[in-house]
Structure 1
Amino acid sequence: MARGGINKAVVQKARTALLARGEHPSIDAVRIELGNTGSKTTIHRYLKELEAADQGRSTAPIPFSGQLANLVAQLAEQLQEEAQAAVAAEREQLASERRGYQDRISQAVERCHQSEAQCAGLTEQLQVAQQALQQDRQVRQQAEVVNARLLQANRDLETHLQDRGGQIRSLEEKHQHARDALEHYRQAAKEQREQDQRRHETQVQQLQLELRQLQQTLMIKQDELTQLNRDNARVLAEARQQQKDLHSLQRQLEQREQTLASEMQTRTQVEQENSALRERCDTLQGEVARLREAKDAHGQQVQSLQERLVEALTQLKILGHSSEDTAPQ
């Protein structure tokens, strides 16, 4: 269907104007004459109808030069259209490949950024884990120092208790000796029995008082020793728990180091793919340049063919005029 304003009469007018100027009324020439408006299919249909009408009205045969000129013009027009279609198809294919490679490059760059962000996060976690491990080591050293101090205090207390036990045994022996002496003095001197007995009872009371004091001191020391043993057991339990936590942190650190190594390997692969894509992009740019050169060469060939066509038409016109001049009157 023709566009608005394009009809058979307008096409016939443009064709007549081209023929009057001695130009071949091709589809492109008629369309240019119409101001680059109208469908080529519609123009081609109208031109065929007009040529058929001219052939029906004309009884004289078309000269060979005219047929040859029409054939050359049609071949040149067809060659130009095919060349334009091939160049347009190559441009579309090249643009599609370029968009595809640009998308792949963008995806590779995005994956590289994500890998760098993950690597930075893992590095930060590794640093935090190392700091926690260092703190655990310091706490463990402090616990070992406290444990050593408590063990030394326990040994000192045991030594002190042994000394106190020796003193108590010595006092008990003294007490036994005093009782023996008292019994001997009771038999030997009844006269001094009461006096000696009072003195002895006084000494016994004092010794019993000292004994009770020593027993209370011993009980206090035993309570302190028990408390120290409990504290020592608690410190040992905390040290064992810290040792377990330390082993757990070391396992986590090893796992994170393995994950970091895997991420670094993935990042290296992504960088290699990115490099290969860049090389492919450079190759495509070289191919684009080569296609542009081929296009320029093709354009030059088309221009050369058009120039040769103009020369052939000129020669044909000259031959036509010569044949008309030499024809019998």
Structure 2
Amino acid sequence: MARGGINKALVQKARQAILARGENPSIDAVRVELGNTGSKTTIHRYLKELEDADRSRNAASIPLSEQLANLVSQLADQLQEETQATVAQEREQLARERLDYQSQIRQAESRIQELESQAAALAEQLQSAQQELQQAQQQRQQAEVENARLQQANRDQEARLQDRDGQILSLEEKHQHARDALEHYRQASKEQREQEQRRHESQVQQLQLEIRQLQQTLIVKQDELTRLNRDNERLLSEARQLQKDQRAQQLLLEQKLQTLEVAQSALATAERKKDTMKERCQTLQEEVARLSEINASQAEYSQNLQERLGEAIGQMKLLGHKPPADSSGASST
């Protein structure tokens, strides 16, 4: 169900109760009397209607100067109440916005701290990945050096074998009787060479397998490093956006403060206008008093003239002369 609002009768009753206590029936006082219900705009409208009705009833019996003074006072009070209501609403709105802004700032600071923690953790992971990558590169370089050494040893071995074959051929020509022994030696040397070659090929294959594994590990680490860089860029972008939002909130707060300063300046101007109107009212009251004194002086002077005229008419009667006609056209008998 909708809540019932206030009406003019309730406002009139509250106003009369405040006047009976000898207090000023302002908007805030009437609202307190009504139990802090009703909008200030509605209360102000009803109070204005009631005050206009009172002024219309009392206009015939109140002098013009007093009506003017009451009107000036009422206008000044109304202007002050409206200004105070506007300033109070602006202050409440500013307080709510300040609380919202402070809450947003705290949330932004918490988010920034969280992002900084994440960035530090990502930096540590990046540093660890770089160290692992550096170690893998070192191992790869060592493997390449070892592979080059083994290849050079193979070439040296082949060169020595070739020299040995030449020496064997020369010995066959010179030493025919030692051919059988030389053939046996060559066979043994060949088998040894094949064994060494097979062992060398096995070592080369093992090193190639290790190199492929290291390359795969390097690719994985590079992918992780790329992902970490993307995450770091995203976090930095979010941090810059939060800082931008914080600057926008700060600018909005400064604008609200400027609005409050303008309202306070308007209130000070209204106060100065009120003082000016009071001075003008006092001047008018002094002028009315001076005119009243002049009017009384003229009335006294007119009365003196009437008395002197009466004395002159009496003297003329005593002398037997006909008195002149008075201002109303009647003659004395």
- TM-score band, normalised by the shorter chain? 0.5 to 0.7
After superposition, the Cα gap between the structure-2 partners of 1:263 and 1:170, relative to the gap in structure 1 and judged at 3 Å, is same
Deviations 1:264-323 (A, max 9, x none): 4554454444444434433433333333333333333345445656x389669969x98x
What CA distance in whole angstroms lies between the structure 2 residues aligned with 1:308 and 1:213? 140
> Would you say how many aligned residue pairs link Structure 1 and Structure 2?
274
Name the structure 2 match of 1:246: 218
Q: CA deviation at 1:216?
A: 4.5
What CA distance in whole angstroms lies between the structure 1 residues aligned with 2:236 and 2:79? 57
Show the 5 A alignment for 1:228-307.
228-305=200-277
What CA distance in whole angstroms lies between the structure 2 residues aligned with 1:149 and 1:140? 14
**Contact 1:109–1:274 under 8 Å retained in 2:** no
What CA distance in whole angstroms lies between the structure 1 residues aligned with 2:125 and 2:152? 40
Q: TM-score, normalised by structure 1?
A: 0.58
Name the structure 2 match of 1:5: none
Name the structure 2 match of 1:34: none
**Contact 2:72–2:277 under 8 Å retained in 1:** no
Q: Tell me if 1:141 matches 2:141.
A: yes
**Contact 1:112–1:271 under 8 Å retained in 2:** no
What CA distance in whole angstroms lies between the structure 1 residues aligned with 2:164 and 2:92? 106
Q: CA deviation at 1:230?
A: 0.2
Q: Which moved more, 1:121-130 or 1:134-143?
A: 121-130
After superposition, the Cα gap between the structure-2 partners of 1:265 and 1:68, relative to the gap in structure 1 and judged at 3 Å, is closer
After superposition, the Cα gap between the structure-2 partners of 1:313 and 1:91, relative to the gap in structure 1 and judged at 3 Å, is farther
Name the structure 1 match of 2:98: 98
What CA distance in whole angstroms lies between the structure 2 residues aligned with 1:313 and 1:81? 25
**Contact 2:119–2:232 under 8 Å retained in 1:** yes
Q: Which has the higher contact order (CA 8 A, sep 6+)?
A: 1
Name the structure 2 match of 1:27: 25
**Contact 1:126–1:253 under 8 Å retained in 2:** yes
Show the 5 A alignment for 1:1-329.
26-27=24-25, 62-64=61-63, 73-163=73-163, 177-178=176-177, 215-216=187-188, 218-305=190-277, 311=282
Letter in 2 for 1:86: T
Q: CA deviation at 1:141?
A: 0.9
After superposition, the Cα gap between the structure-2 partners of 1:165 and 1:16, relative to the gap in structure 1 and judged at 3 Å, is closer
Q: Which moved more, 1:141-150 or 1:74-83?
A: 74-83
**Contact 1:140–1:242 under 8 Å retained in 2:** yes
What secondary structure does 2:205 align onto?
helix
What CA distance in whole angstroms lies between the structure 2 residues aligned with 1:15 and 1:295? 27
What secondary structure does 2:136 align onto?
helix
Q: Which runs of 5+ in 1 are unaligned?
A: 2-7, 19-24, 32-36, 56-60, 179-202
Q: CA deviation at 1:235?
A: 0.4
Q: TM-score, normalised by structure 2?
A: 0.57
Q: CA deviation at 1:147?
A: 0.5
**Contact 1:157–1:225 under 8 Å retained in 2:** no
After superposition, the Cα gap between the structure-2 partners of 1:213 and 1:124, relative to the gap in structure 1 and judged at 3 Å, is same
Q: CA deviation at 1:97?
A: 3.6
Over the aligned positions, Cα root-mean-square deviation in angstroms equals 5.2
What CA distance in whole angstroms lies between the structure 2 residues aligned with 1:118 and 1:80? 56
After superposition, the Cα gap between the structure-2 partners of 1:278 and 1:245, relative to the gap in structure 1 and judged at 3 Å, is same
What secondary structure does 1:27 align onto?
coil
Amino-acid identity (%): 36
Letter in 2 for 1:286: Q
What CA distance in whole angstroms lies between the structure 1 residues aligned with 2:139 and 2:145? 10
Name the structure 1 match of 2:38: none
After superposition, the Cα gap between the structure-2 partners of 1:85 and 1:253, relative to the gap in structure 1 and judged at 3 Å, is same
What CA distance in whole angstroms lies between the structure 2 residues aligned with 1:165 and 1:75? 130
What CA distance in whole angstroms lies between the structure 1 residues aligned with 2:25 and 2:253? 40
What CA distance in whole angstroms lies between the structure 2 residues aligned with 1:64 and 1:307? 19
What CA distance in whole angstroms lies between the structure 1 residues aligned with 2:269 and 2:240? 43
